Every structure is written in C-alpha cells, then in structure tokens.
Amino acid sequence: MSYCTQCGAPLAASVQFCTQCGAQANAAATSQAAASPAVPPQFAPAAVPNTAPAAAATGNGCRNLAIGAAVVLIVVAALGAVGAFYAYRSVKQKATAVLRGAGVVSNAVGHHNDTAPGAAPQAATGDALSIHSAFAPWNASSAPAAPGSSGSAPLKEGMLVVTAVADMSGDYESFKQITRIAGDGVTLSYKSEHPKPGGGGSAPSSASHETSTSRTVLTNDLASAHDYAEIFGSNDPPSFPGSTAISASHDVLTELKEKGTTQFTFRPDGLKGAVSSLVNTLGGIAGIDPKSIGDGSLAKASKEECTLQRVGDGPVAFPVLLNGEATKLPAVHAHCVTDDGPADFYMLDQSDYPLMLSWKLGQGSQLQVIKIAYPVEKKAPAPKMEQDLEEKKKVEIYGIYFDFASDRLKPESTPVLDEIAQVMEKHPDWKLSVSGHTDNIGGDAYNLDLSKRRAAAVKQALVTRYHIVPDRLTTDGYGASRPVDTNDTLEGRARNRRVELMRE
C-alpha cells in the first residue's frame, strides 16, 4: 500500500487522486513506497540529512591534517637545520678559543676608534676582538661633539623619526611617529617601503613591499628593558613586553655611561635572521615553541645576546636633520661581537628617551636616523621658511616625502605642504619656483626625470589641495647635478634628496 504525499491518507492501488484531499498521486512517491515498507508520513523517521557535506567535511579534515603534518615536518626540518648551524658554531667557537689560548690564532684583528683626524689613537682595552667594528664607512663619529654644538630630541607626541636604510636598489626610508604618550607606555606607528629586487640597468625597481604597523612600548620597558625589538612586521602584536623599539632603555644607556658595558639582546640579521623568521613563522602556524624542543638552545635563533661595550669616553657628534636644519646630536657608541659577527649601535645621549640613531648588525644593512621632525602649530606662521624666502629668496625643504622611486607624495608630507601654502597665502604677490633634487643612485637620465616629476607633484598638490593659482608656481628638476653634500654617506644622500623653493 502507498500513501498520499500531501495528507498521508492510504491510497488504493492504481488510483490517480487521493480520496481525502484530492491531491494527485505522485508516481515516483508511489513507486518508491512500493519498493519500501509502507509507513505513513506522520510516523516516518526524520529525514536523514544529505551525507555529502559530511563527507566533504571529512575530506577537508583529512586535508587539513595532512597540511598540518607537512607544516610540522617542515618546522622540525628547519629547527634541525638551525640546530646543526648552532652545533657547528659552538664547535667552531670552542676550537677558536683553544687555538687562541695556544697562541695559534691572534686576537689582533683591528681596532675601531672615534678619534678626530690627526689625534692620537685611543688605547685598546680588553680583547681587541671585542671592540673591533665592522661599521660601514661613516665619518660622523670622527669628531667629538663640541660643547654647545649638540641639540636634543625630546619625546613628544607627533614626533616623526625618519630612518634611512642602505640598499642595493637605493636608500629606502622608514617612518616612525609617536602617536600617544600615556601612563602605560608610548605608542608609535611604523611605515616603510622595502624595494623588491628587479629593475636593473640605470633605474632602480619601482616595486616595493610595504610594512605598516603600530606598537606600544611599555613604561617599565622604557625604563629597564635590555632587549631591543628593532624589526617591524605588518602582523605584529600590539606590544612586545620586555623590549623597547626605536630607542634603548634608560638603564641600558646609564650602564654604558657608568660601567662601560651592559647586557643586550636584539633580533639577528642576514642568514640567521632569515632562518629565525622562518622557524618562528612556521612554528607559530604549527603551534610549536622552539624552546620546547631539545634543551631549548634553538630558541637562540630568535635573538642575539651579547655584552655591549662602550667605544670611546665621551659622546660623538651624530649628524641629523632636526626640523629640516642640519645639526649634530650627542650619541653614545656601543659595540659587541655575536655569532654572526660584530654589531654596532649609536644611541642618543638622552636618558629619558635614548633614540637608537644608527645600527649595523654583522654584514647586514646599515640603518641611520636622518631626520627628526616635530609638529608645527597650524595657527602659527612658518617663520624660518618665510624668513629664508624673504631674505635669501631660497629655502631647502626636507619634509616632503615620496614613495620609493616614485613621484607619489606620502601622507607625512602634509605638514610641510601646509606651511608652504600658508606662506603663499600670506604673500599673495609671491611666485615660487619648485625644483626637485635627488642623490646619485641610479642613472643621470633616470634621476633627472624623477626630480622633474617630483617637483611637478608638489605643484599639483599645492594647486589641488590648497587652491594656489597655478601661474604662481613653476617647476623644474636637476637630478643629482646639484648636490649640497657628499653622496658617500646615508646622511649626505638624505640631504641631497630634497625640494627647493625659490622666490622669483
């Protein structure tokens, strides 16, 4: 017997319509019912869900399990490679120590000193190896800071710190800005564009990898942390307890000045840094802590530990553009030797916020603060810019920033563009010539074209954003043909990358 699919009434054989509700009998249902035990719908068991999704979920689970297993194997292999690396390092260090003790290997590998040209060299203290410096050629530390010649860079909200990094494709810059100062700590934003390999020829590659993040350095860490977390990533957590960023702590600077040494940790560079990033990334995906493997020695892959030693007895003169003006800040130079080679740090001699002004780790890139700027009151005039244009008819602008190898203005350029517009509104009869200048990295033709496009971009911004009459602005570019400083140093190239305004 079969049943009506609408009301559940029993149906006689071969009927076309239900006698209870008049619904047409479903042939498919009838035949299906005939093949199965006849059960009225109201007593039938609940419909069984389609098992296909469950099978798919099972398949996904198996696939995820396989991926997880593969990740675990990769992590284990990577950790094994790091373990082998450290085993080799350990054996090599012990062998070197034994040979040194036997007099087979000499400690005299050179000495870096911060004396002025022509002055008597400083006496080496301790093991010469411990104070040998592999810092890139840079002469800023060759002249001690003269009394009264140094400035200061106090911690303030809105403070912008621009760091240049020497790269084969050209200098690229990172921007760190203090966005909040509160009882729990100091919050800063970080932005950078790292050039990607490519381009070739006389023009650098315009492709770049952008990093943007924010970090809060806790108040206690600003006071006493001995770990320096100098690497930034877009996926970083909001804070790294136990470490500082862009500055050393008060205790690190104090110990260097009073004792001459301090314990210090930082992130590795070069091959070790790449392996460290790989291990930490894969370990995070697989949920494996490198400290939990073996005796925990593999955890060293994430940090370098050393005893920093102060170089020289007094501060050195560190060149920086402070609010667009060339000045020299007092800096303490510290050095140590790690498994990956020597490391050097220059930190601002300022106890409440000892900015890390420059550092170089092993054979990695050199990083150097080239500009420090503070916000200008919007209602206040721009006296320096206005005065220079009034008296000299010319002013060099260092607060206008562009994307790497591009004429696209960065948001950090807004304060200076505001100042230029304010001056032009105050002097409606002035006409200005805007000229672009570059360093000498890249071919002459490329730099000339880039400088012209950047000058035009400044004019375009003043016209569109501030409604300056276009006829009041003319533009030109000179590439690297009119340097104001050497192109052999990071700070020199930073001064050469500029925009100039001239009153016509």
Instruction: Give the pLDDT confidence of 247-262 residue by residue, as tens digits.
Output: 999 999 999 999 999 9
Distances in Å between the Cα of 2 and the Cα atoms of 42, 45, 105, 185, 468 are 14, 16, 100, 78, 88
In angstroms, rounded to a whole number, what is the distance separating the alpha carbons of residues 168 and 165? Answer: 10
Domain residue spans of the chain? 2-43, 67-106+268-299, 115-267+303-373, 383-503
How far apart are alpha carbons 111 and 496 in whole angstroms? 32
Q: Are 158 and 378 a contacting pair, CB within 8 Å? A: no
The CATH fold of domain 383-503: 60s Ribosomal Protein L30; Chain: A; (3.30.1330)
Mean pLDDT of the chain: 75
DSSP letter for each residue of 303-337: -EEEEEEEEEEEEEEEEEEETTEEEEEEEEEEEEE
Q: What is the pLDDT of residue 404?
A: 86
Nearest to 169 by CA among 135, 209, 213: 209
Buried b (16+ CB within 10 A) or exposed e, 381-419: ebeebbebbeeeeebbbbbbbbebbebebbebbebbbeb
User: Is the pLDDT higher at 318 or at 500?
Assistant: 500
- The predicted model gives 195-215 an average pLDDT of 70
Q: What is the percent of the chain where pLDDT is above 70? A: 59
pLDDT band at residue 192 under the 50/70/90 scheme:
very high
What are 395's strand-pairing partners? 501
How many other C-beta atoms are found inside a 10 Å radius of the C-beta of residue 124?
16
Query: Using one digit for the tens of pLDDT, what is the confidence trace for 39-50?
Result: 344 334 444 444
Higher model confidence: residue 344 or residue 194?
Answer: 344
More confident call, 197 vs 314: 314
What per-residue confidence (pLDDT) applies to 278?
57
Confidence check: pLDDT of 357 > 80: yes
What would the pLDDT profile of 276-292 be if each residue is shown by its tens digit?
555 555 554 555 554 45
| Alpha carbon 67 to chain centroid, angstroms | 30
- Rg of the chain on CA atoms, in Å: 34
Q: Is a pLDDT exceeding 90 seen at residue 321?
A: yes
Retrieve residue 445's tokens: 């033709």
Over pLDDT 90: what percentage of the chain? 47
**pLDDT per residue over 130-157, tens digit each?**
344 445 444 444 444 444 344 589 999 9
Instruction: Look at 347 and 120; give whichever has higher pLDDT.
Output: 347
Q: Are 176 and 163 in contact (CB under 8 A)?
A: yes
Residue 58 is predicted with a pLDDT of 52
Give the residue, 119 or 6, on which the prediction is more confident. Answer: 6
pLDDT at 303: 83
- Residue 226's φ and ψ, nearest 5 degrees, are -115, 15
Nearest-angstrom CA–CA distance, 174 and 370 = 10
Q: Among 191-200, 402-411, 419-428, whose mean pLDDT is lowest?
A: 191-200
Give residue-wise pLDDT tens across range 29-41. 444 444 444 434 4
What does the pLDDT look like over 383-406, one tens digit per residue? Answer: 789 999 999 999 999 999 999 889
**Residue range 311-320: mean pLDDT, rounded:** 88
Place of tokens 């930490």: 280
Only one residue has tokens 């276009």, namely 470
Q: Are 348 and 355 in contact (CB under 8 A)?
A: yes
Name the residue with tokens 């805007």: 434
Above 80 in pLDDT, residue 57?
A: no
Tokens of 262: 């301090």
Question: CA triplet 202, 205, 208: central angle to 5 degrees?
Answer: 160
Q: Which residue has the tokens 């952008």?
A: 210
